[in-house]
Structure 1
Amino acid sequence: MNPSSSNPKERFKYYGTPGKDFPRFDVDRPLPEEVEPTPRYEAHVGLQAFPTLPLIPVLGWAFSGLTKKLGFRSMAGPLLQTWMPANLSRLHPDKFSDEYFVERRLNGFNPGKLNRVEGKEWQYSVYYKTGRYQAEPGGLLPEYSEARFLLRDRALHVHSIKYCLKGQDITCFPTDGKSWEDAKYYFRSAEYVFQEIQSHLGRTHMNMDQYAMAFYRNIKKSPIRKLLWPHFEGLINIDKKGASLIIGGTGFIPEASALSADSVDGVLIEEIAMLSYHWSPAEQFLPDIIDNNHFDRAALAVWELLTKYVSDFCVNNQREIQNYWSEIEGMSEDLVTHSILKPEYGTLEIKNQEDLQQLCVYVLYHCIFFHSWVNNKQYEDGGDIEYAAIGLWDKEDPKYDPKIEQKRHDAQVKLMWILANVRYNPAIEFAPLPLKKLLWEYRDRIEPGIPLGWLMMSINI
């Protein structure tokens, strides 16, 4: 569709109240034609979702005979978890080891959460405060959970875990046997909830939705359209679907976790209210050298190469960008008007070309790198119920139902498989040539944190 053929501000309407609801496309409106999924994208979804076809009836016609022959319709529970493709934890020789626990805090599906601690026996910690949110009756969700780590010889070692469950403060150490294993399992569950809401949904999908909306509504002739357009492909489509699939009263997170739907929305809003494009991964880079800290090294490398890429693009198109600066001003106005950013974090206003470049680097970083990391690694951690369950349930509660719990676990494994395996438009294949060359140039710093081929052009799943 020609972007000038109709008013984009009529096609791309915001949901809710400006400055109150987090900025996103109004999911009750039809999807504009130019952002509808391509047939190639739908084919990719179908091919990768094959192991969980019962979840996707519209694809059943293509494989109905095979699914009947293989018995997929009855595949559930322990059978499902056995038949689904193995994930990283299932393949690990000792997935419950303390060494693996440390490695996943550095490089797993919820990275960048370690904080330096002063004046303690330990030097780093990861802390989740979950008690401020409402849990469903019978749900086991610690009021808080803190994992602490010692730094020795450029390596982290787990020191202890402190958590509060049912009003009781508990501190466990690696020598505490079953209590220690329980503490790690409770921590992994709390981490899983916050990975899905904060890192995955909040920081990538819904955060980028506000930039995509302002972009689609205003950028028509500016060269910035060419720069950003490929990295927004699929975003509004998948966020529209995700409004009911992932969040809301019947969404995956409220259904499978112990959090209520209102609490999920509360965590999401709180996260988005702290996110600004005036940020870089240098702000969370760990101050000490840790040999297997692959995430920080990859994040800084991607930010550096994207800064070069965006800078070169803007220099080469500087005059045209300035000629259509009124479009950037319109984008800026939409960002500010609809933002829920807390005042202490500044403003999303685009004041000059320096701001514009920073915004573009920020958008590309999250669309290419950060979403690829937190999304594509979901099955590595969340594809094994024994290792990590997004929801834990009190078996002594009178309303506990093992069949309901099993259905929740089934939903977790199936959804994690789909989300982690739809890899549409890998950047190394579909990016403009200058960006491809930079990705290859920085490959040694990006890997082994994440394979180069896992970096997607956009948030399309």
Structure 2
Amino acid sequence: MFVAMRRLMSALGLKGTEKGDDELLDAAELARWYSSLGLEERLALSRELAPRVRAAAGRSERSAADLPAVAEGRLVFEQDGPSGPVPLHHLKVELWDRDIGTPDDFLGEGFTDAEGRFCVRYDPADAGVGDLPDLEVRFFEPQHGFLPDGRVVETWRRIGSERGPDDHGGLHYDFGTLRLPYWEYDPSTSLARLHVTEAGTPPTAYAPGRSLAMLKAVAPIELVKRRHLLQGKLGQVLGLEKIQADYPEAMTVRMERESPGSTRTDAFFGERLLNGMFSAILDRDPEVPADANAFRLYYPWNAYEQDGLHCLPDVDLRLRLVDGRLLPTRIILGMREPGAAAPGSPVTRRSYTPADGPNWEAAKRMARVSATLDTELGNHLGQCHFNIEQYAIAAHRNLRRSPLRWLLMPHLREVVLINHSANDFLVGGTGYITRASALTERGIESRLVHLLGSYDWKGFAPAPPVCEGHRYARAAGLFWKLVGEHVEAFFAEHGAAVEAEWCEVRRFSDDLVAHSVPAFVCRYLRATVPGKPAPWFVRSERMDLEVKAAAPTPKAVSAVTRTDVAQAGEVEALKQLCRYVIFFATFRHAWANNLQWDDAGEVLYACLGLRWGKGGALSTEEDLDVAPPPEDATEMLWISWMLSKTNYGFLLANEEADVHPRFVELLRTHAAAFAELGMDVRTVSSRINI
């Protein structure tokens, strides 16, 4: 690029310092060199040449007020809001003269104001001798990186343009109101999702290294899956044992090889509920709230439409701490009749205990499958992917001048891309979860709306451990503490500048609240928690049920602010929101995602759905009529491996240098403490991109 720039400058009669700069290019060679450059190189070259051309022509730099011509306009989002056009504030606007075969001429720049208006003053003579400018405005969003000492380096990324008139001879031109399709909300869903048209592309892209990471992770197993699917189409019978053996050995498969039966014990069942990918909030048992060792997990699947082919009962799971181990003591299944599909279908409740032998083992398997599906839709897809997407959209739409962008954007940069892939790959009419589980497309949509309706940043803190062996909760508490220190240090350095641009925070908050789903409080909780003593209910990870249940039409996400000037307590609220976003985009997603091969890498141990077999769904693992069919089994193993093993954008590696190095070092100094809790902090990504 720089050699071409020197030669082009020489061709224009502008002396450089390199040997050979006095060799001029003829017009044909000049055009050839310029056309060989990429867009960004041409733009950089034009910006470089503009002041030198003016100087060569005897025109010195002048203040904007002295420039004779002006171009103005207003930039708004493609989609209107409730009150009409939504301004695109604080975007960089550059005015250019378009040329063919030679560098475009940079005329001037400015920024949109709070209402999206821009005004760029320029000198028409900068278009060149005898050339009237062919006007064009180009729009840029800010990007950032950090130097090793923590200083920020800002760059600009072009996001759009609008052509104006050719050969404009006047001194004023109004581009009018320009609509830019930029980080728009999808109007077809009640969730806060990015709108990407069928022929369009998202307004962002993966980091280049991510594609290579995906290739390295998937290549070894891609041919395995394709071979299995082809054999099925050719009518060849594939057993689940053979399908399992063709994939790398999963944790539970290895454990069974080394110690048969070890992964099917009550103790291992409880251990994975504490520390596996299934790790969830453990409420006290409401039937014995005074018993500090009795716990409950509940999965309410009968509330949703099902396909009638898979068996997915309500699961009411009771557990007890015994000598530091969490053991299941009773499993209550609310079973529909085979073929029943409607939400709220009649159920028969059956209770199982360890004394029930084979039926107890079958009930545990049903509960394990239920926990797997709940993890995929809740802990993973809902609480991390779709939850963080709503913060990503609101941040990209609104944070540009605010230093808050430097804190949040590294953790929001690719989530919309992977979620866009999930629209058809995992959910939707043909998604894997829809095909492999009992829930229909409509059932999944309803479940996700309810899940997103229960997530809020306000008041969140990881639940404390229930025992010494609760490694997940201890690791979560440590990571939450470190994120808090990082956020506090950032606000100590940039808090005043954040407050100075509070208008952006207000619009960020407004978008979050306006596009979040309605708060969801189920009938059981409404009857037993708000305004009543409920010591069994863990509140730290839940939204404030008293506030949400009392409001007439509450939104799930709480507002940070409702004014353009920070009020008392609102900066602290913003810190809490930032801490919440970073925690879920990094630690929480890593724990739910990276353990999938450990906990969902064996078809007969855990899958997304069990079928109604000839003898019912509660049968032994030997009854393959209940297990997933071969095509679902191989796809399940392929997905579990791909999700667990595809990682790029690690926090400690900081490949794009977009995370503050202080946070990287803070985590690195605690790597040994995380390792003692079973987490390699080097495997935690800075954002959700798988």
Contact 1:209–1:236 (8 Å) recurs in 2: yes
Out of 22-31 and 413-422, give the one that drifted further. Answer: 22-31
**1:50: Cα distance to partner?**
1.5
1:455 matched to 2:625? The reply is: no
Distance 1:78 1:397 in 2: 21
For residues 58-77 of structure 1, what are the structure 2 equivalents within 5 Å? 77=240
Q: Does 1:229 align with 2:385?
A: no
Write the mapping of 1:419-430 to structure 2, written as runs, cut at 5 A.
419-430=643-654
State the match for 2:269 in structure 1: 101
User: 1:85 — aligned with what?
Assistant: 248
Q: Give the Cα–Cα distance (whole angstroms) in 2 for the partners of residues 118 and 183 of structure 1.
A: 21
Shift of 1:223: 1.1
Aligned to 2:639: 415
Question: What is the alpha-carbon distance in structure 2 between the residues aligned to residue 56 and residue 426 of structure 1?
Answer: 28
Question: How many angstroms apart in 2 are the aligned matches of 1:394 and 1:56?
Answer: 25
Contact 1:299/1:446 (<8 A) preserved: no
Shift of 1:27: 3.4
Give the conservation status (yes or no) of the 8 Å contact 1:279–1:362. Answer: no
Pair 105,305 (structure 1): closer, same or farther in 2 beyond 3 Å = same
In structure 2, C-alpha distance between the alignment counterparts of 1:418 and 1:436, rounded to whole Å? 26
- Whole-angstrom distance in 2 between the partners of 1:105 and 1:9: 47
Does residue 334 of the first structure (1) align with residue 511 of the second (2)?
Answer: yes
Does structure 2 conserve the Cα–Cα contact (< 8 Å) formed by 1:51 and 1:84? no
Alpha-carbon spacing, 1:433–1:56, altered in 2? closer, same or farther (3 Å): farther
Shift of 1:414: 0.9
Alignment of 1:258-269 (within 5 A): 258-269=438-449
Q: 1:20-56 CA distances to partner (integer Å, 9 max, x unpaired)? A: 71101013363345x2123211111111112332499
- Alignment partner, residue 61 of structure 1: none
| Maintained 8 Å contact 2:224/2:247 | no
Measure, in 2, the Cα distance between the counterparts of 1:312 and 1:73.
56
Q: Deviations over 1:377-413 (max 9, x none)?
A: 1111111011112111112299x98997221122111
Q: Deviations over 1:30-84 (max 9, x none)?
A: 3345x21232111111111123324999xxxxxxxxx9xxx99659653331121
1:317 corresponds to 2:486: no
* Cα distance in 2 for residues equivalent to 1:39 and 1:440: 25
Matched with 2:53 is none
Match of 2:612 among 394, 398, 407: 394
Amino acid at match of 1:89: T
Corresponding letter in the other structure for 1:113: I
- Point out the structure with max Rg over C-alpha: 2
What's the offset of the Cα at 1:115? 1.2
Deviates more, 1:203-212 or 1:48-57: 48-57
CA distance in 2, matches of 1:128, 1:9: 43
Q: Contact (CA 8 Å) 1:281, 1:299: kept in 2 or not? A: no
The normalised TM-score by structure 1 is 0.88
CA distance 1:434–1:56, change in 2 (3 Å): farther
Hey, what's the Cα distance between the residues in 1 that align with 2:298 and 2:495?
A: 44
Contact 1:427 1:436 in 2 (8 A): yes
Matched, 1:129 2:314: no
CA distance in 2, matches of 1:264, 1:225: 33
Query: Which residue of the other structure, out of 365, 371, 374, is the alignment partner of 1:191?
Result: 371
* Structure-2 residue corresponding to 1:442: 670
**Aligned 8 A contact 2:369 2:609 in 1:** yes
Higher alpha-carbon deviation: 292-301 or 224-233: 224-233
Map of 2:80 onto structure 1? none
Q: Is 1:276–1:341's contact at 8 Å kept on the other side of the alignment?
A: no
The answer to whether 1:295 aligns with 2:472 is: yes
Aligned: 1:2 with 2:140: yes
Tell me how far apart the structure 2 counterparts of residues 358 and 402 of structure 1 sit (CA, whole Å).
46
Amino acid at match of 1:308: E
Bigger relative CO (Cα 8 Å, ≥ 6 apart): 1
Q: 2:610·2:628 contact (CA, 8 Å) conserved in 1?
A: no
Q: Aligned ranges for residues 103-118 of structure 1 at < 5 Å?
A: 103-118=271-286
Q: Which residue of 2 aligns with 1:62?
A: none
Rounded Cα–Cα distance in structure 1 between residues aligned with 2:627 and 2:353: 33
Q: Amino acid of the residue matched to residue 97 of structure 1?
A: T
Distance 1:154 1:95 in 2: 18
Query: Aligned equivalents of 1:209 and 1:55: distance in 2?
Result: 33
Asked if the contact 2:651–2:664 (Cα under 8 Å) also holds between the matched residues in 1, the reply is yes
Going from structure 1 to structure 2, the CA distance change for 1:348 and 1:55 (only over 3 Å counts) comes to farther
2:312 to 141, 146, 161: 141
Structure having the higher helix fraction is: 1
8 Å contact from structure 1 (residues 41, 424) kept in 2: yes
Answer whether contact 2:285 2:295 (CA < 8 A) is retained. Answer: yes
Q: What runs of 5+ residues in structure 2 fail to find an aligned partner?
A: 1-138, 143-157, 161-178, 233-237, 337-346, 520-547, 562-569, 617-623
CA contact (8 A) 1:339 1:348 kept: no
Secondary structure at 1:131 match in 2:
helix
- 1:98·1:158 contact (CA, 8 Å) conserved in 2? yes
Counterpart-to-counterpart distance in 1, 2:598 and 2:370: 17
The offset of 1:312, in angstroms, is 0.5
Distance 1:423 1:436 in 2: 17
Distance 1:73 1:171 in 2: 42
Q: Distance in 2 between matches of 1:49 and 1:421?
A: 8
Q: Confirm or deny: 8 A CA contact 1:208 1:363 kept in the other structure.
A: yes
Query: Is the contact made by 2:196 and 2:202 (CA closer than 8 Å) also made in structure 1?
Result: no
Is the Cα–Cα contact under 8 Å of residues 225 and 638 in structure 2 kept in the other structure? Answer: no
* Paired residue secondary structure (2:456): coil
Match of 1:154?
Answer: 324
C-alpha distance in 2 between matches for 1:321 and 1:259: 44
Residues 42 and 55 of structure 1: CA distance in aligned 2, closer, same or farther (over 3 Å)? farther
Unaligned stretches of 5+ residues in structure 1: 58-66
The 1:9/1:221 distance shift into structure 2, 3 A limit, reads farther
TM-score by length of 2: 0.60
Q: Secondary structure at the match of 1:2?
A: strand
Matched, 1:28 2:28: no
Q: Encode CA deviations 1:117-150: one digit per residue, 9 max, x unaligned.
A: 25538611211111111221221111x1122222
d(CA) in 2 for partners of 1:224, 1:154: 43
Report the CA distance between 1:168 and its aligned residue.
3.4
Comparing 4-13 with 99-108, greater Cα deviation is found at 4-13
**1:224: Cα distance to partner?**
1.2
**What is residue 285 of structure 1 aligned with on the other side?**
464
Give the C-alpha shift of residue 316 in structure 1. Answer: 0.3
1:198 is paired with a residue of what secondary structure? helix
Give the Cα–Cα distance (whole angstroms) in 2 for the partners of residues 305 and 72 of structure 1. 46
Deviation at 1:323, TM superposition (A): 2.3
Shift of 1:364: 0.4
Give the letter for the 2:487 counterpart.
V
Matches of 1:425 and 1:202 in 2, distance apart?
Answer: 21
CA distance, structure 1, for counterparts of residue 615 and residue 308 of structure 2: 8
- Other structure's SS at 1:160 match: strand
User: Does the alignment pair 1:44 with 2:202?
Assistant: no
- Residue in structure 2 matched with residue 63 of structure 1 by the alignment: none
Aligned residues: 441
* Distance 1:151-1:188 versus aligned 2 partners, 3 A rule: same
Match of 1:208 in 2: 388
Distance (whole Å) between structure 1 residues aligned to residue 605 and residue 628 of structure 2:
19
Instruction: Supply the AA of the counterpart residue of 2:193.
Output: R
